[in-house]
Structure formats: structure tokens, C-alpha cells
């Protein structure tokens, strides 16, 4: 098991703990349909707007670097 792998979850691939690969998205489609909360829909809408306006999503390494820079 890799140092970033926990119980079948890839820490670098699934940012939220407890998200299994079976519920992950592939090519914009959810592999298994699960109920999405109102907050989840709102966050997805904001993400879509950000991407549509030319925003770049960060990968895990870039996100870690950004967090470290903001912490100082």
C-alpha cells in the first residue's frame, strides 16, 4: 500500500476522505448515482462557473503548495 493510500482510496485522486472510487467522477459523469446535497450542487455550480471563466483547477501537489504558501 502506498503512503498516500488508505483503505482503497487514493489520497491524491480523491481529495475528500471517505470518497471511494466507485462514487468518483470520470469524464464528467458519476460512476454510481448517489443523492447530491444542495451544498454539493451549489459547489459544483461554482466550480463549473470558475472553469468556464478560464480558471485552472489545481492538482493535489499544486493545492498542497498553495496551502503552504498561504500559511506562510
Mean pLDDT of 52-66: 96
pTM (2 decimals)?
A: 0.47
Mean pLDDT of 19-36: 64
More confident: 23 or 29: 29
- 6-15 exposure pattern, b = at least 16 Cβ within 10 A, e = fewer: eeebeeeebe
Q: Which of 52, 54, 63 is nearest to 11 (CA)?
A: 63
Q: Whole-angstrom Cα distance, residue 15 to residue 43?
A: 14
Percentage above 90 pLDDT, the chain: 49
Amino acid 26: pLDDT: 61
Q: Whole-angstrom Cα distance, residue 28 to residue 61?
A: 22
Give the total number of structural domains in the chain. Answer: 1
Residue 25, domain extent: 5-71
- Whether the CB-CB separation of 11 and 1 falls below 8 Å is answered with no
Q: Which residue is associated with the grid cell 451544498? A: 39
Predicted confidence band at 32 (pLDDT cuts at 50, 70, 90)?
A: confident
Amino acid at each position: 500500500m502506498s503512503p498516500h493510500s488508505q483503505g482503497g482510496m487514493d489520497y491524491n485522486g480523491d481529495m475528500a476522505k471517505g470518497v471511494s472510487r466507485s462514487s468518483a467522477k470520470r469524464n464528467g459523469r458519476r460512476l454510481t448515482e448517489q443523492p447530491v446535497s444542495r451544498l454539493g450542487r451549489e459547489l459544483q455550480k461554482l466550480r463549473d462557473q470558475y472553469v468556464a471563466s478560464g480558471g485552472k483547477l489545481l492538482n493535489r501537489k499544486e493545492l498542497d503548495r498553495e496551502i503552504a504558501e498561504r500559511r506562510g
